[in-house]
Amino acid sequence: MGEEGLVLLTAEQAAARLQLRPSWLRRKAAARVIPCRYVGKHLRFTPEDLAAIAAQYAHTPAEPGLQLRRRVP
- The domain of 11 spans 7-57
pLDDT of residue 61: 72
Q: Is residue 31, in this structure, part of any structural domain at all?
A: yes
Asked whether residue 63 is domain-assigned, the answer is no
Tens of pLDDT along 54-64? 999 887 776 66
pTM to 2 decimal places:
0.74
Proportion of the chain above pLDDT 70, given as a percent? 78
Q: What is the pLDDT of residues 30-53, one digit of tens each?
A: 999 999 999 999 999 999 999 999
DSSP string, 4-71: GG---B-HHHHHHHHTS-HHHHHHHHHTT-S--EEETTEEEB-HHHHHHHHHHH--PPPPTT--PPPP
Q: Which is it for the CA torsion 51, 54, 58, 61, positive or negative?
A: negative
Phi (first) and psi of residue 26, to 5 degrees:
-65, -40
Mean pLDDT rounded to a whole number for the chain: 87
Within-domain flag for 44: yes
- CATH code: domain of residue 30: 1.10.1660.10
